[in-house]
Chains A and B, each alone.
Chain A
Amino acid sequence: MDKYSIIGKRQVRTDSAVKATGAAKFAGDFLLPGMLVGKILRSPLPHAKILNIDTSKAMKLKGVRAVATGKDITDVPHGIMRVDPLPPILRDKYSLAKERVRFIGDEVAAVAAIDEDTAMEAMELIKVDYEELPAVFDIWESLKPGAIQIHENFPGNISTLTAFHHGDVDKAFAESDYILEDKYETQRTHHSYIEPHAVTAEFYASGEVTIWPSTQTPFYDKVCIAETIGVPVNKVRVIKPHVGGGFGGKGDVHSLFPISALLSRMSGKPVQISYTREEDIVSTTRRHPTIIEQKIGVKKDGRIMGFDSKILADGGAYQGISMVSIFVMAVFQHGPYKLPNYRCDARRVYTNKPYCGAQRGHGGIQPRFVIESMMDIIAENLNLDPLEIRRINGLHTGDITLNKFRIRSCGHIESIDRAAEDIGWKDKRKKLPEGKGVGLACNFFASGPGFSYFFTNPPSHSGVNITAEEDGTFLLYTGSSDIGQGSETALAMIAAEAIGLSSIDQLKVIAADTATTPMDLGTYGSRLTTIAGNAAKMAGTKIKDELVETAADMLEANKEDLESRDGRIYVKGNPEKGVTIREAVQTRFQIKRIPLTTVGYYNPPADTGDTSGFAEGKVSLSPTWSFGAHAAEVDVDKETGVVKVNKVSAAHDCGFAINPLAVEGQIEGCVSMTFGQATCEEFRTEKGWTMTNSFLDYKLPTSEDMPDVIPIIVESIDTEGPFGAKEASEGANIPTIPAITNAICDAIGFRVRDLPINPEKILRALEKKGGEK
């Protein structure tokens, strides 16, 4: 008999059929009676004062029902960095600009009209008088003394600064046998979920408003919408519909949410706003571009002694979630290698460009590209095997890092071994013909943040309620947001296993409605399997305990002797003597006449990291950590400079795969996103204008571009995650880029130090005879 009945088996998702038929409703699919179309007028200037906005002509246009400007919202800026004691100045943006715009695309006014054409025409009739201000587009310009201040509260245009020093780095370098200093640059990329941001809002005469946004964080939206339009928080209800991908780009509170509610209140009609792709690319967030200068000192055998990192990120015009972005870039360097001495100085600089935030693999992508490249260079220069230097420095189960991360389970070495084996490392590394090569890189990522940066007093990080129904089935209520990753199915599997059901068909998940489901902080930091999963496990276990008690009475047995599994509660070792779960539920209701609802919750342990750089150390980092390794094989065409990635063997330590079908899907999706960042994606601006404002200019990987991706599931059985599970949705995004660039170096001896890799860079490198190492 298998250890488990439901988890660990390939489970078709609960939401797939409705998506396959086109019946699934996304935020822009609601067709409410009398619904209006909302449109947002955006700044055409990168930096300007707003002197006056004249909306009178627009208001008079036939079919226009409402026109809103910054005067129609409260003075409370929106923004999600707000946990006590973070200073309020971190919230530096309004849904509709007040007095000043800071990038081309900043929201200035909004219109609700009977149709899109009318709304567009009305926008042309809004007259905005601007006084243009000097703008800065380059971080070095922005950092110059005397540069225009983009936000008055942030002198020198430094939006965020994080500094860490653990151990004695200078002494470590003095004691090192070999020191490598290097410099790398990473580009801006956009999430490019296929569903652009959208929202439908309906404000009722009762003073309440219901909003269906394309979101990852409904409970944050609720608070920000209420504050922006000036209603009590309990008057706002946010219901997450199906979401067409997010990848971190729908985790900030975007302006269209409060604007839709505002327009609905002003017009008395439901309002829908659907961003065009151009609007979406220009005005939402994107991954931070960085310049990273890194110094690593090692002993002759490759053991890391000292590690010094200087990170400079171009943040764009607003803060968003960047305090977390910069912080995690610094601290995620503490794995998968043990660092005995560590220093990091990370700064984020404001510029008059679209602003940056979180994207899948948040904070891991940029430093990991640097570290994994340098590990290969160090190995080469010390005549070590690139796999060996990664093994000997690797963390192990039970380790505590310099900054107090607890490594509760670790599949680092198994990941390296299995990725290397799958790619054929022994036969290929340095053995393939010129132009062909293999490379490997590792990863390390949080299984959910251990802290809330939004709520100071959340009831818990994640709540799950389970209610028994009269027919012996169950309803599971969770505030967590499935945005396509399959978390609702995973939670159903975890709860069903905990109760002892025979299939997830006996349990229905009701999710992400702020009025009916218990609070969950949201979908980010790859947190749901570990954090919401533990809450689901607790609620399910409590249901089981209650029903076992009933069954014990029914069977005249000791409850300690009973087991609940496959839909039955029975005497261990004597499965014939038992009752069905349905009988247990119905008997319990018959005898007690008391509803059966259990409350599950989870809060990450407090001992998970020194966070002195963040919110005065009041936060902990992550309950547990994922590991992994990717190996890539490439062909470089020396005539054209085109790099073809043939295969990526992607090993990921997810602790335990609750749903292997979904874990594979996450790994494959992760690889495709960073394969794109490595080879074709670059968000470009020119004097503040977004040049890559469509899918024609912003190139995403297609089915014909993708390498063969081989997902390899490594299971280290974690002690904190539910049934041993850790994250699987972000960590596997991280090693793809350096695995590819390390393979390119194996193929042609050229070290990629800035992204994306393109034929021009490869050809230029090949021109320099022999390239460089």
Chain B
Amino acid sequence: MKQLIELKVNGESYEAAIDPHRTLLEVLRENVGMTGSKEGCDLGACGACTVIIDGKAVLACLTLALDARGKEITTIEGLAKDGKLHPLQQNFVDYGAIQCGFCTPGAIMSAKALLDENPKPTVAEIKRGVSGNLCRCTGYTKIIEAIEVTAK
């Protein structure tokens, strides 16, 4: 039986009729129409679906949409303002941290959650902060560099 829910995503409200077992990732992609968050592994091992809920980085593929009701959800679509990239996005672009781009939304969201909580992380803390975001293209070097530069 479908249930009507309301989600607050990037500051705006969205209503959706969903089966209760649908994950936040599925509802964001299929009902809300935001496909920036990616499904890479279905079980919380790759980080491509990372979003921020009430200030914490969360795996949207392991979160039921129902459990996200009443919370502030930020996705990759919510970072750029008025056509201007968020500093993290800009540095990912400028420092070559993006190759295929499939892990990028999740990696940027993890980095944002890290910097929101710890604005001056050490390199080790940065590596720990994105260790849940698998990237097969970059070897992580330039991702770490982009986050480091943003924190400076």
Residues of chain A whose beta carbon lies under 8 Å from any beta carbon of chain B:
10, 12-13, 15-17, 19-26, 28-29, 31, 117, 191-196, 242-245, 247, 274, 276-278, 483-486, 661-662, 664-665, 668-673, 675, 694-696, 700, 702-704, 706, 709
Determine whether B11 belongs to the interface, using a CB cutoff of 8 Å to chain A.
no
A696/B76 contact (C-beta < 8 A), A20-B89, A25-B35, A26-B102 known? no
Task: For the complex, give the distance between the alpha carbons of A258 and B131 in Å.
Answer: 37
Q: Are B140 and A196 in contact (CB under 8 A)?
A: no
Determine whether B103 belongs to the interface, using a CB cutoff of 8 Å to chain A.
yes
Q: How far is the CB of A670 from chain B (nearest CB, A)?
A: 8
What's the dominant secondary structure at chain B's contact region?
Answer: loop
A117/B19 contact (C-beta < 8 A), A194-B40, A671-B139 known? yes
Q: Are B131 and A195 in contact (CB under 8 A)?
A: no
List of B residues within 8 angstroms of A278 by Cβ: 42
List of B residues within 8 angstroms of A20 by Cβ: 85, 89-90, 92-93, 98, 101, 104, 108
Determine whether B75 belongs to the interface, using a CB cutoff of 8 Å to chain A.
yes
A23/B45 contact (C-beta < 8 A), A117-B19, A192-B136, A665-B142 known? no
A194/B77 contact (C-beta < 8 A), A12-B93, A702-B131 known? no
Task: For the complex, give the distance between the alpha carbons of A703 and B99 in Å.
Answer: 16
Q: Are A29 and B99 in contact (CB under 8 A)?
A: no
**Nearest chain B residue, comparing its CB with the CB of A244:** B102
Determine whether B128 belongs to the interface, using a CB cutoff of 8 Å to chain A.
yes
List of B residues within 8 angstroms of A16 by Cβ: 92-93, 98, 101
**Nearest chain A residue, comparing its CB with the CB of B30:** A31
How many residues of B sit at the interface, in one of the four size bands? 35 or more
Q: Are B102 and A668 in contact (CB under 8 A)?
A: no
**Nearest chain A residue, comparing its CB with the CB of B48:** A194
A193/B102 contact (C-beta < 8 A), A21-B80, A484-B137, A704-B127 known? yes
Q: Are A484 and B140 in contact (CB under 8 A)?
A: no
Closest 7 CB pairs of A and B: A22-B36, A484-B100, A244-B102, A19-B101, A672-B139, A22-B76, A695-B45
Determine whether B64 belongs to the interface, using a CB cutoff of 8 Å to chain A.
no
Q: Are A19 and B104 in contact (CB under 8 A)?
A: yes
List of A residues within 8 angstroms of B76 by Cβ: 21-22
Name B31-90 residues within 8 Å CB distance of A. Answer: 33-43, 45-46, 48, 75-77, 79-80, 85, 89-90
Task: For the complex, give the distance between the alpha carbons of A661 and B140 in Å.
Answer: 14
Q: 0/1 per residue, B85-121, Cβ < 8 Å to A?
A: 1000110111010111111110010000000000000
Q: How far is the CB of B23 from chain A (nearest CB, A)?
A: 11
List of A residues within 8 angstroms of B16 by Cβ: none
Task: For the complex, give the distance between the alpha carbons of A10 and B94 in Å.
Answer: 10
Task: For the complex, give the distance between the alpha carbons of A354 and B101 in Å.
Answer: 28
Determine whether B7 belongs to the interface, using a CB cutoff of 8 Å to chain A.
no
Q: 23 pairs across A/B with beta carbons < 8 Å?
A: A12-B93, A20-B93, A21-B36, A21-B76, A21-B79, A22-B35, A22-B77, A28-B35, A191-B136, A192-B134, A194-B100, A484-B99, A484-B101, A661-B96, A664-B96, A665-B99, A668-B142, A669-B137, A672-B139, A695-B45, A703-B128, A704-B131, A706-B139
Determine whether B141 belongs to the interface, using a CB cutoff of 8 Å to chain A.
yes
Q: Are A15 and B101 in contact (CB under 8 A)?
A: yes
Q: Are B93 and A669 in contact (CB under 8 A)?
A: no
Q: Are A194 and B42 in contact (CB under 8 A)?
A: no
Q: Are A247 and B136 in contact (CB under 8 A)?
A: yes
List of B residues within 8 angstroms of A12 by Cβ: 93-94, 96
Task: For the complex, give the distance between the alpha carbons of A404 and B90 in Å.
Answer: 48
Task: For the complex, give the distance between the alpha carbons of A196 and B102 in Å.
Answer: 10
Q: How far is the CB of B126 from chain A (nearest CB, A)?
A: 8
Q: Are B131 and A274 in contact (CB under 8 A)?
A: no
A662/B100 contact (C-beta < 8 A), A22-B75, A194-B40 known? no
Determine whether B138 belongs to the interface, using a CB cutoff of 8 Å to chain A.
yes
Q: Are B40 and A195 in contact (CB under 8 A)?
A: yes
Determine whether B143 belongs to the interface, using a CB cutoff of 8 Å to chain A.
yes
A21/B77 contact (C-beta < 8 A), A28-B39, A29-B35, A195-B100 known? yes
Q: Are B98 and A19 in contact (CB under 8 A)?
A: yes
List of B residues within 8 angstroms of A242 by Cβ: 100-101
Residues of chain B whose beta carbon lies under 8 Å from any beta carbon of chain A:
19, 29-30, 33-43, 45-46, 48, 75-77, 79-80, 85, 89-90, 92-94, 96, 98-105, 108, 126-128, 130-144
Please name 9 further chain A to chain B contacts, defined as beta carbons within 8 Å, in addition to the given A25-B35, A700-B136, sorted by A numbering. Answer: A19-B98, A21-B79, A29-B35, A245-B100, A485-B99, A669-B139, A672-B139, A695-B134, A703-B128
Task: For the complex, give the distance between the alpha carbons of A17 and B105 in Å.
Answer: 11
Q: Are B41 and A695 in contact (CB under 8 A)?
A: yes
**Nearest chain B residue, comparing its CB with the CB of A24:** B101
Q: Are B93 and A673 in contact (CB under 8 A)?
A: no
Q: Are A486 and B41 in contact (CB under 8 A)?
A: no
What's the dominant secondary structure at chain A's contact region?
Answer: loop
List of A residues within 8 angstroms of B92 by Cβ: 16, 20
Q: Are B38 and A26 in contact (CB under 8 A)?
A: yes
Q: Are A21 and B85 in contact (CB under 8 A)?
A: yes
List of B residues within 8 angstroms of A21 by Cβ: 36, 76-77, 79-80, 85, 89
List of A residues within 8 angstroms of B134 by Cβ: 192, 194, 695, 700, 702
Task: For the complex, give the distance between the alpha carbons of A703 and B94 in Å.
Answer: 20
A703/B96 contact (C-beta < 8 A), A31-B35, A194-B102, A195-B102 known? no
Scoring B79, B127, B139 by chain A CB atoms within 10 A of each residue's CB, the highest score goes to B139
List of A residues within 8 angstroms of B108 by Cβ: 20
Task: For the complex, give the distance between the alpha carbons of A675 and B138 in Å.
Answer: 13
List of B residues within 8 angstroms of A245 by Cβ: 99-100, 102, 136-137
List of A residues within 8 angstroms of B131 by Cβ: 702-704
List of A residues within 8 angstroms of B90 by Cβ: 20
List of B residues within 8 angstroms of A192 by Cβ: 134, 136
Task: For the complex, give the distance between the alpha carbons of A772 and B138 in Å.
Answer: 36
A703/B133 contact (C-beta < 8 A), A16-B98, A672-B140 known? yes
Task: For the complex, give the distance between the alpha carbons of A591 and B135 in Å.
Answer: 53
List of B residues within 8 angstroms of A675 by Cβ: 139
Q: Are B46 and A194 in contact (CB under 8 A)?
A: yes
Q: How far is the CB of B138 from chain A (nearest CB, A)?
A: 6
Task: For the complex, give the distance between the alpha carbons of A425 and B130 in Å.
Answer: 32
Q: How far is the CB of A544 from chain B (nearest CB, A)?
A: 29
Q: Are A243 and B100 in contact (CB under 8 A)?
A: yes
List of B residues within 8 angstroms of A664 by Cβ: 96, 141-142
**Nearest chain B residue, comparing its CB with the CB of A662:** B96
**Nearest chain A residue, comparing its CB with the CB of B33:** A31
Q: Are B100 and A244 in contact (CB under 8 A)?
A: yes
Q: Are B139 and A709 in contact (CB under 8 A)?
A: yes
Q: Are B98 and A13 in contact (CB under 8 A)?
A: yes
Q: How far is the CB of B139 from chain A (nearest CB, A)?
A: 3
**Nearest chain A residue, comparing its CB with the CB of B37:** A22
List of B residues within 8 angstroms of A702 by Cβ: 131-132, 134, 140
List of B residues within 8 angstroms of A23 by Cβ: 36, 77
Q: Are A709 and B136 in contact (CB under 8 A)?
A: no
Q: How far is the CB of A107 from chain B (nearest CB, A)?
A: 20
Task: For the complex, give the distance between the alpha carbons of A117 and B101 in Å.
Answer: 29
A193/B138 contact (C-beta < 8 A), A17-B85, A25-B35, A704-B128 known? no
Task: For the complex, give the distance between the alpha carbons of A393 and B140 in Å.
Answer: 35
List of B residues within 8 angstroms of A704 by Cβ: 127-128, 131
**Nearest chain B residue, comparing its CB with the CB of A710:** B141
Q: How far is the CB of B40 from chain A (nearest CB, A)?
A: 5
**Nearest chain B residue, comparing its CB with the CB of A192:** B136
Q: How far is the CB of B131 from chain A (nearest CB, A)?
A: 5
State which of A31, A191, A668, A696 has its C-beta within 8 Å of the C-beta of B138.
A668
List of B residues within 8 angstroms of A191 by Cβ: 136
State which of B38, B77, B80 has its C-beta within 8 Å of the C-beta of A244.
B38
